[in-house]
Structure 1
Amino acid sequence: MSMTEYPHLVRNTWLVVPLYNEATVIHDVIAHTLETFPNILCVDDGSSDGSASLAHAAGAEVAQHPINLGQGAALQTGFDWVLTYTDAKYVITFDADGQHRTSDALRMVERAEDEDLGFVLGSRFLSETHQAGTLKKFVLRTAARATKMRTGMDMTDAHNGLRVLRRDALEQIRLRQNRMAHASEIVHQLAATGLPWAEESVTIDYTDYSRSKGQSLLNGVNIVTEMLFG
């Protein structure tokens, strides 16, 4: 399928981008992403570096938290905004630091449309070319196994931030974990919808900048512990 042939898909898709102190890269990330997806909402989560203004100048809509509440809270604010103010069929969760590729996001929304899927989850582990280190790979795959134990979903990458959610799936999400544990919570809630789903191979572009902003290994271990014993 080509977006030239099916331009309604990108018009009916919104990207929700949690944003916290990404002034170094956010203008370029938004400008590049707008070349493919015309509808982007950045949820500025109490940034102190002017990130919101830069995102708006690049062409994104911006919602703002007056204080930092965490990525889970930013996503839920974005979901509520899209459901309230748009008739979007799909929402894509997309990182602000340049790790995600618009080509992957586009392929995922095409797949959701072609296969009538309620949600499509990105996985860096469906390809052997992933850049994750040994320890990170171990933690993330342990999280995927824990997710299967809790939900029955046979996943390879439970904590990938690139996701496509159809509107009927989005309407059933209510994130209450404001911080990084929302990555587990959203998967559990999606599993409960009973909607058809798939994983899609994606590439995470790790840079020195994105690594410096990324989730620590300790946070990953804490999330796995919470999933297994919480």
Structure 2
Amino acid sequence: MGNGGSYDDVCVIVPVYNEATTIADVVVSLRARFADVVCVDDGSSDESAAIARAAGATVVRHAINQGQGAALQTGFDHVLRNTDATYVVTFDADGQHVVEDAVRMVDTARAEGVDVVLASRFTGTSTEMPAVRRLVLKAGTGFTRWSAKLEVTDTHNGLRVLNRTALRRIRLTMPRMAYASELLSAIVPNGLSYTEVSTTVNYTEYSRAKGQTNLNAVNILFDLAVRRMRAS
């Protein structure tokens, strides 16, 4: 088992889709601090699931690719049904997040008693972020601040902490990357408290290739606009 220490009540959910290159290192680094790591293999065609399991993760699999939002919801359901975890950390599989940031965010959730802790690369550090990506993400943040009524500085950051109350009240229904804004939009209506913590995102050639394209970012805004119109 990993060195969970005082973090035995934490489960880390890692959505995985064809991440054989990085997933072993990600799981090993997480299990140095968190005993319970669950990888949701979202229909990978490579050996991601076997590699994650060999590295010490519990693996839950989708038969076909359903998107990151669906993978996270499967992870949330797994936690609620099969564990007593008080907190869940969501963590990307491409190696761009820092495990110690996740630790600090759990510590913040405990100390401040909030339901959701969000990460911000814009008040923290982002290495090698493409300029166009920065502009697109800033636009997405502006849209979410307006639509979700949240004072946040980063919206599509895969690192976050949710307590069990948040898991029960939030249900992700948008399987593509738009789930991230959907999650934020559920905070205020569900009476959840939140805070934001400065973190680091390390962009590498691999993570840039795996990350959302600018076209995907436009699709996110379109999906959210359609959803908002239907709800009104």
Matching of residue 137 in structure 1 with residue 131 in structure 2: no
RMSD: 1.7
Query: What percent of counterpart residues are identical?
Result: 49
2:82 paired residue number:
85
Q: Number of paired residues?
A: 225
Q: TM-score, normalised by structure 2?
A: 0.92
Which residue type is aligned with residue 89 of structure 2?
Answer: I
Greater strand proportion:
2
- Equivalent residues in 2 for 1:1-230, closer than 5 Å: 7-8=5-6, 10-127=7-124, 130-228=127-225, 230=227
Secondary structure (helix, strand or coil) at the match of 2:201 reads coil
Matched residue of 1:83: which SS? helix
SS across alignment from 1:193 = coil
* Paired residues of 1:108 and 1:200 also in contact (CA < 8 A): yes
Taking the aligned partners of 1:129 and 1:77, their CA distance within structure 2 comes to 29
Deviations, residues 108-137 of structure 1 (Å, cap 9, x unaligned): 000010011111000100136554232211
Aligned amino acid, residue 12 of structure 2: L
Q: Confirm or deny: 8 A CA contact 1:108 1:120 kept in the other structure.
A: yes
Listed as ranges, the gaps of 5+ residues in structure 1 are none
Alignment-mate amino acid for residue 201 of structure 1: S
Structure 2 vs 1, CA of residues 105 and 128 (structure 1 numbering), >3 Å: closer, same or farther?
closer
Unaligned runs of 5+ in 2: 228-232
CA offsets 1:124-157 (integer angstroms, 9 cap, x no match): 0013655423221111111111112112101110
Task: Please state how far the C-alpha of 1:228 moved relative to its aligned partner.
Answer: 4.3
| 8 Å Cα contact 2:127/2:203 also seen in 1 | no
Output the CA distance in 1 between the equivalents of 2:149 and 2:218. Answer: 21
SS at match of 2:141: helix
Inter-CA distance 18–128: structure 2 relative to 1 (3 Å threshold) = closer
Are residues 136 and 35 of structure 1, via their aligned partners in 2, closer, same or farther at CA, if it must alter by over 3 Å? same
Q: Deviation string for 1:43-86 (max 9, x for gaps)? A: 00111111100000000000001111111110000000000000
Normalised to the residue count of structure 1, the TM-score between the two structures is 0.93
SS at match of 1:15: strand
Partner Cα distance (1:38, 1:87) in 2: 13
Aligned-pair CA distance for 1:227: 3.2
